[in-house]
Amino acid sequence: MTMQSTPDAELVPVTLRVNGRDCELEIDPRYTLADVLRDQLRLTGLHLGCEQGVCGACMVNMDGEPALSCMTLAVEAQGAEIRTIEAVSKNAGALGRLERAFIEQGAFQCGYCTPGVLVVAHHIVDHGLATSPERVKDLLSGNVCRCTGYEPIVQAIMSVAQEKL
């Protein structure tokens, strides 16, 4: 679905740093960050699921923390450093260790939740937060996966976190 401004909508300038690139945009102030990332910047790796902040499919990293892009107005992200699933792997285009662990552990099935889960998983691993499987489950509580039962996801995250010790 392409965003359409209403004829009387006043566009506002917004500057975002997305995946290391400065983006100067003029947007309708009602647009969410998810809408702008997907529709204007064509970063379609993030998925829109519930659009109510419940499922986590739209998760991005904003100023170093996971954020629900469907619940963030793009104007609220003015000046923010945003990393989408397209940039969370440190291997720039190649599968990183965490992504490979997801494959090895069977941590995705339909894949719809995977981009949002991986954004959070990278945050968990990068910040040394995977202190136990229970802690990882707690940190993933904002991400809904209807296929895997979460155990393979937790195992993948724990396996990579243990490698970093």
Q: What is the pLDDT of residues 18-67, one digit of tens each?
A: 999 999 999 999 999 999 999 999 999 999 988 998 999 999 999 999 99
As a CATH number, domain 97-163 is 1.10.150.120
Where do the CATH 1.10.150.120 domains begin and end in the chain? 97-163
Task: Please check the confidence at residue 162 and state whether its pLDDT lies above 80.
Answer: yes
| Model pLDDT, residue 1 | 47
Asked: is 12-88 a CATH 3.10.20.30 domain? The reply is: yes
Which residues are CB-contacts of 164 (< 8 A; sequence separation ≥ 6)?
Answer: 125, 128
Where do the CATH 3.10.20.30 domains begin and end in the chain? 12-88
Q: How far apart are CA 144 and CA 49, in angstroms?
A: 10
Which residues are CB-contacts of 114 (< 8 A; sequence separation ≥ 6)?
Answer: 102, 107, 108
Please tell me whether the overall predicted TM-score, pTM, comes out greater than 0.95 for this model: no
